[in-house]
Chain A
Amino acid sequence: MSDAKIKKFRVGVASCGVAAGADAVLELLSARATVPVEGTGCLGHCYAEPLVEAVLEDGKSVFYGNVKADEKSIENILNLGEEGRFEVPALRKAIEKVKVLALAGRINPTDFDDYVAHGGYAGLRKALTMRPEEVVNEVKISGLRGRGGGGFPTGNKWSFLAAKQADEKIVICNADEGDPGAFMDRSLMESAPHQVLEGMLIAAHATGATKLFIYCRAEYPMAIKHLKIAIDQIYEHKLNHVDGRELEIIVKEGAGAFVCGEETALIASLEGGRGTPRFRPPFPTDKGWKGYPTMINNVETFGNVPLILNEGGAKFAEVGTEGSKGTKLFALAGDLKYPGLVEVPMGTTIAQIVFDIGGADRDSVKAVQTGGPSGGCIPAELFDTPVDYDSLKKLGAIMGSGGMIVIGRNRCMVETARYFLSFTHRESCGKCTFCRVGTTRMFEILERITAGKGTEEDLALLEELGPKVRAGSLCGLGQTAPNPVLATLRYYRHEYEAHVKDHCCEALECKALVDLFLDQSKCVKCKLCIKSCPVGAISDNFVIDNAKCTRCNSCAAVCPKHAIRRVKKGSN
């Protein structure tokens, strides 16, 4: 390799890369390198961040993973050393089909020319040579369904708006990625903002829209920054001049309300008010933002649109299953070896994603949670299920926006359900009684059970409340909030029963049901535990007073010999 010449370097500096220290690597590499050093987006291999790519003169690339911002590591990269080289794991390479994310991490996200040089805006150019109804038809042929979780056919939605006659027609990109554990949209907006905007401009041509909004979470400052730069570039190149209309493209920052991911709530928030949902009908395509016909699609949905135009709807539909076409992005996190952002064809099995791509240990995985707090868990025994909208629904889970959290055997499923309800009951906007009060009661019951004070009647009550909350709520938040509880009750009832009957948390996670135990035979009397204990619960002769102990685990975390562990309450 020593004769190969380096053309330039790329450093992944999306939010997750920066969190891993990529900005320091970029700075040091820029100072030392004699060739250009570019910041780029996310390659999806978060476990290997910071990632540096050396692009060679012959077009090949060498990657370096987990790069440290020190002289030695940088020197190694400048010399194309063998140390620390990164390659995409072969299993992942075999399963993954990178289409939507093809440009993520390959281009400078805020460089307009770079995007165009990689085929950007070819889809829009092609769309503009077609009649609007032809574009809508192409999207229908592609079989694309909404990637925000609902799975509504995108082409149909477009045709509803296209059919409307109005002074103003609004297209909104829903970038309020609120599911904790999901970061697909963030990554796409940070890494290829023009791709999302191109999809929106194509939609504007197809539907006759006059105004475009992007409603983005305020927690995503880099995504907002990149979108704003990209919009300025669009104005500069007059790409917002569509069919004689001069389109306004506006980025609005959300203010931290999960319910605003729901269409009608999002519109209320865009109008400047409290983001509460309302009855449908009228549907937003009839009466939306300030009363104008309005259509809302998710970031990833728009990200797919340029591909459909480029390769044609029929070609797009070759990938995927009967009812779910194309690829899907998943944000893979939790108890596994290779967390990151993956793109797989619809119909890939959960096992392939979790074990083959994620590198999770087959024996240590208990379940996977899809669709965040609105979704359900799928136990490891059912991992042969293909991921598509309809198969997941059958299991009581949902596709959701694409968050996939792997839950290990050492996690308590009752606590997991309690966690999700703590989120949804807090995020309930309060409009519907069943959602406001029902989720609160469900949360209280789960608090009781995890505190060891639950009874068998509590389980019956959860099963009674769940369907009622589902039926009595206006929007997706309330309708799906009981899912994590009902799904865990369905597959892990024995864990609930162990909590209420035997006051036992098998996973040793529920604080009220465990003690801390110091194994004297392993102890080296280093006193680190005594020093770390915030409540002075460990005596000078290394005995833990469980009456004082708050189970904060500080001592177990500092113990060099792992002599301190959790045990069932009252067992030592």
Chain B
Amino acid sequence: MDQKYSFLEKIGREPSNLIKGLQAIQGAEGYVSDESITAVAEYFGIPEVEVEGVLSFYAQFKRVKPGRFKIAVCDGTACHIKGSVQIQEWISSALGIKSGETDKNGTFSLETVACLGCCSLAPVMSINGRVYGKLDRKNTIKILKEYEAK
């Protein structure tokens, strides 16, 4: 196995840890590459196609490399009611990318998620895991600008 994935050794080899292994890969690289699928299949001793099957089932796993800043716009019920669709559109038009895409410089990637569990602050989004609540057009654009400057 590629040395790059030696951290898998910390996870038990039984196939019930497959999801955990894939989460470790994504945690380290930000996404699951073709190359890492081969490594995971080899490590757990299961066919690559089964790894793909599990990967494609779960929304958490990304197959394309995300940007430096991962924006997740919440479209849970509370956020939807409070206008999350518009928040998403504003971000899309500001960055020129749609949900599921990464911009050309690899700075931002955008995705829509089911619920971040901060419903009382709706509408919310998270950037690299940090949650921003009570969004409106002005503060959404401001937050994006702050990240852009980083």
Contacts and interface: CB of A to CB of B under 8 A. Distances in A.
Interface in A179-197: 179-183, 186
B118 A554 contact: no
Question: Interface size class for chain B?
Answer: 35 or more
A558 B137 contact: yes
Interface in B102-128: 113-122, 124
B77 A274 contact: no
Contact of B16 (A270, A373, A532): A270
B21 to A, nearest CB: 9
Contact of A554 (B18, B79, B90, B120): B90
B117 A339 contact: no
Interface string A421-443: 00100010100000000000000
A344 B7 CA distance: 47
B148 to A, nearest CB: 17
Interface in A302-348: 331-335, 339-341
Given A15-B131, A16-B118, A274-B53, A256 B59 contact: yes
B81 interface: yes
B89 A18 contact: no
Contacts of B59: 255-257
Given A18-B131, A255-B61, A274 B90 contact: no
Contacts of B130: 18
A189 to B, nearest CB: 11
Nearest to A372: B77
Chain A interface, >50% SS class: mixed
B58 A255 contact: yes
Given A257-B58, A405-B81, A411-B81, A19 B20 contact: no
A409 to B, nearest CB: 12
Interface string B76-106: 1111111000100110010000000000000
Nearest to B80: A419
A428 to B, nearest CB: 12
B54 A272 contact: yes
A221 interface: yes
A181 B120 contact: no
A219 B115 contact: yes
B13 to A, nearest CB: 11
Nearest to A341: B120
Contacts of A262: none
Nearest to B93: A534
- Residue from the set A177, A219, A416, A558 with the largest chain B CB neighbour count within 10 Å: A219
A252 B81 contact: no
A273 interface: yes
A290 B16 CA distance: 10
Interface in B9-38: 14-20, 22-23
User: In the complex, which of the residues A332, A405, A429 has the most CB atoms of chain B within 10 Å of its own CB atom?
Assistant: A405
A411 to B, nearest CB: 6
B115 A333 contact: no
Given A339-B119, A558-B137, A180 B61 contact: no
A19 B124 contact: yes
A420 to B, nearest CB: 8
Contacts, number: 159
A269 interface: yes
A124 interface: no
A272 B129 CA distance: 25
A221 B15 CA distance: 24
B133 A20 contact: yes
B16 A16 contact: no
Nearest to A181: B77
Contacts of B82: 334
B8 to A, nearest CB: 14
Contacts of B121: 16, 19-20, 46, 49, 339
Given A258-B114, A554-B137, A557-B136, A339 B77 contact: no
Nearest to A290: B16
B147 to A, nearest CB: 16
B117 to A, nearest CB: 4
Contacts of B15: 271-272
A516 interface: no
Contacts of A26: none
Contacts of A369: 77
A333 B90 contact: no
B120 A333 contact: yes
Contacts of B124: 19
A274 B81 CA distance: 31
A91 B89 CA distance: 39
Contacts of B134: 20
Contact of A407 (B23, B81, B138): B81
Contact of B57 (A46, A274, A331, A373): A274
B73 to A, nearest CB: 13
A332 B120 contact: yes
A136 B122 CA distance: 41
Nearest to A190: B117
B83 to A, nearest CB: 8
Contact of B114 (A16, A49, A334, A423): A423
Contacts of A20: 121, 133-134
B81 A180 contact: no
Contact of B23 (A47, A49, A218): A218
A340 B115 CA distance: 15
Contacts of B76: 180-181
A552 interface: yes
A178 B117 CA distance: 9
Interface of B: 14-20, 22-23, 53-54, 57-61, 75-82, 86, 89-90, 93, 113-122, 124, 129-134, 136-138
Closest 5 CB pairs between A and B?
A: A46-B120, A180-B76, A181-B77, A339-B120, A255-B58
Given A177-B117, A257-B57, A271-B16, 19 more contacts: A16-B118, A19-B131, A20-B133, A181-B115, A181-B119, A183-B119, A186-B117, A253-B23, A255-B59, A258-B114, A273-B18, A405-B81, A419-B77, A419-B80, A420-B77, A429-B57, A552-B93, A557-B138, A558-B137
Interface of A: 15-16, 18-20, 46-47, 49, 177-183, 186, 218-221, 252-258, 269-275, 290, 331-335, 339-341, 369, 372-373, 403, 405, 407-408, 411, 416, 419-420, 423, 427, 429, 532, 534, 550, 552-554, 557-558
8 contacts: A15-B118, A16-B133, A20-B121, A46-B120, A178-B115, A252-B20, A256-B114, A373-B77
